[in-house]
Chain A
Amino acid sequence: MAFVMDFTPSQLMHAIRLGLDEMVMSSKTTWLCSTCQTCTTRCPQGLDIAKALDAVKIIAQRKGIKASEPDVLAFYKTMMGSIFGFGRVYELGLIAMLKLRTGHIFKDIGLGIKMFGKGKLKLFPSKIFPIFFDASEIRKMRKRVEKLEGQRK
């Protein structure tokens, strides 16, 4: 995804080292990273760049800094909502929620209908229902994570 990033991953690593926090946090690079792990795999200095980019995203969210690619953050939040709600990803619900959050109501409608026709999108989270019990376990995990991460702030 480097072709659409405003800074290359290596430039961003230098910016972090130089303490240019504002530049780092407002960059599109972190949000457009697909975590393909190519930079991490090839870094001659052995840096885990993909993980560093994740850390930047997480810190930016904690500090309440507006994401430079809000749709990408909306996708993360929507999918996590699905996981905390059902324990699994319920795709049709995720897509509908994402459309409401981003306002791109008609994006990929034609594609969605084709996929539905092929039986790729399920109308209800059918296989998910039997594990509603589990989703409560996931929500408990979330509470404990939030408590632990809150202590680290």
Chain B
Amino acid sequence: MKYAYYPGCSLHSTASEYDISFRSVCRMLHVAIEEIPKWACCGSTPAHSTSHLMALALPGRVISQAEEAKFQKILVPCASCFQRLKTAQYEVRNYSGLHETLEQVLDRKLENKAEVIHPLELFIGEEMSNRIADAVRKRLEGLKVCCYYGCLLTRPPKVMNFDECEYPMSMDTIVSALGAETLDWNAKTSCCGASLSLTKSDHVCKLIRDIFQEAKAVGANAIAVACPLCHSNLDTRQQETEIIYKEKYGFPIFYFTQLMGLAFGESIKALGLKKHLVDPRPLLSEVGIA
């Protein structure tokens, strides 16, 4: 079965390394994916903060396009896109009259039956776990990883219906299967400030400082994420936060797909690991991974 792939805007720009590492991991695990043709933005925070209907119509359009192309499952790696698509599905299912209104706005048919899934959800399935175990060429020993899920992958639970909302484990399960040590810690689902990074960066620095302190307290040497905005905040604002708070963190931030790719023997360049502002290469060579 082929999955529809909805990268969203971030994976085509600031998070292009999430896109290339996800594609490469899918290739190695024999997961067939195809990008939804002519997709548009899901609207994200600006849409749901300015128009309730537009915020449902934009992700509704993506679902409708996938259904039109006869896909039954849509893979959505971006946490925000994932949450918006699931929210649209949930609201259409639960509020009477909304389905008709949305079809009217979209001027398209919306079956609302395609299943929206996150790659984490796909990779923790039993069959995939076996494939992952077989694909590991280089165990990631020496990496002590805090898996950071952020807000939207699991919240609100009635909509997302994915993993445990306060203390999720799916990413930990995958990353530890790669041979890395995953750590129990307090900030798994803390907020990084999301898009307020563009307008209220000092508040974002405070929030990510709290996250870094928690990771430091348990002895981590890296943080894994599954969201482009979490990555952007933790990686690009890390140095600034170190300066503001006169502390040293030095955490390379990995997309979990990059860790998978590394364990499967993929090269640093092919996983976009040179694109990070906090260079992960010193740590990787220190522990003898690359």
**Chain A interface (Cβ within 8 Å of chain B)?**
1, 3-4, 32, 34-38, 40-41, 48, 50, 54-55, 57-58, 61, 69, 71-72, 74-77, 79-80, 82-83, 87-89, 91, 95, 98, 102, 107-108, 111, 114-115, 118-122, 127, 130-131, 133-135, 137-138, 140-142, 144-145, 148-149
Does B275 have its Cβ within 8 Å of any Cβ on chain A?
Answer: yes
A selection of 29 A-B contacts at a CB cut-off of 8 Å is: A4-B200, A4-B203, A34-B193, A34-B194, A35-B45, A36-B151, A37-B151, A54-B52, A55-B52, A57-B50, A69-B200, A72-B200, A74-B199, A80-B50, A80-B54, A82-B41, A83-B58, A88-B9, A88-B40, A108-B201, A111-B236, A119-B16, A120-B16, A121-B14, A134-B40, A138-B40, A141-B58, A144-B104, A145-B57
Q: A115-B236, A131-B38, A133-B38 are in contact. Are A76 and B277 (CB under 8 A)?
A: no
Does B51 have its Cβ within 8 Å of any Cβ on chain A?
Answer: yes
Does B118 have its Cβ within 8 Å of any Cβ on chain A?
Answer: no
Besides A54-B48, A58-B50, A58-B51, 13 more A-B contacts (Cβ < 8 Å) are A32-B200, A34-B45, A41-B166, A72-B200, A74-B199, A77-B50, A79-B44, A88-B12, A95-B198, A111-B236, A111-B240, A115-B14, A134-B40
**Which residues of B are found within 8 Å of A4, using beta-carbon distances?**
200, 203
**Which residues of B are found within 8 Å of A122, using beta-carbon distances?**
13
Q: How far is the CA of A74 from the CA of B195 in the complex (A)?
A: 12
Q: A118-B277, A135-B40 are in contact. Are A35 and B194 (CB under 8 A)?
A: yes
Q: How far is the CA of A75 from the CA of B46 in the complex (A)?
A: 8
Q: A37-B152, A145-B53 are in contact. Are A1 and B196 (CB under 8 A)?
A: yes
Q: A72-B196, A83-B58, A148-B105 are in contact. Are A127 and B152 (CB under 8 A)?
A: no
**Which residues of B are found within 8 Å of A138, using beta-carbon distances?**
40, 58, 61
Of the candidates B155, B206, B237, the one whose C-beta lies within 8 Å of that of A38 is B155
Of the candidates B43, B52, B166, B191, the one whose C-beta lies within 8 Å of that of A34 is B191
Of the candidates A79, A91, A108, the one whose C-beta lies within 8 Å of that of B14 is A91
**Chain B interface (Cβ within 8 Å of chain A)?**
9-10, 12-14, 16, 38-41, 43-54, 57-58, 61, 101, 104-107, 151-152, 155-157, 165-166, 189, 191, 193-196, 198-201, 203, 206-207, 236-237, 240, 274-277
Q: How far is the CA of A75 from the CA of B49 in the complex (A)?
A: 11
Of the candidates B10, B41, B49, B155, the one whose C-beta lies within 8 Å of that of A83 is B41
**Which residues of A are found within 8 Å of B277, using beta-carbon distances?**
114-115, 118
Q: A34-B191, A72-B196, A141-B61 are in contact. Are A120 and B12 (CB under 8 A)?
A: no
CB of B14 within 8 A of CB of A58, answer no
**Which residues of A are found within 8 Å of B9, using beta-carbon distances?**
88-89, 91
CB of A32 within 8 A of CB of B203, answer yes
Rounded to whole Å, the gap between the CB of B263 and the closest CB of chain A is 24
Q: How far is the CA of A33 from the CA of B33 in the complex (A)?
A: 35
Rounded to whole Å, the gap between the CB of B258 and the closest CB of chain A is 15
**Which residues of B are found within 8 Å of A135, using beta-carbon distances?**
40
CB of A57 within 8 A of CB of B49, answer yes
**Which residues of A are found within 8 Å of B40, using beta-carbon distances?**
83, 87-88, 131, 134-135, 137-138
**Which residues of B are found within 8 Å of A55, using beta-carbon distances?**
52
CB of A148 within 8 A of CB of B101, answer yes
Rounded to whole Å, the gap between the CB of B60 and the closest CB of chain A is 9
Question: Shortest 4 CB-CB distances between A and B: which pairs?
Answer: A37-B155, A36-B191, A89-B9, A36-B151
**Which residues of B are found within 8 Å of A3, using beta-carbon distances?**
203, 206
Residue in A3, A71, A89 whose Cβ sees the most chain B Cβ within 10 Å? A89
Q: A1-B193, A76-B50, A121-B13 are in contact. Are A89 and B41 (CB under 8 A)?
A: yes
Rounded to whole Å, the gap between the CB of A42 and the closest CB of chain B is 9
Q: How far is the CA of A141 from the CA of B43 in the complex (A)?
A: 13
List the A residue with the shortest CB-CB distance to B50: A76
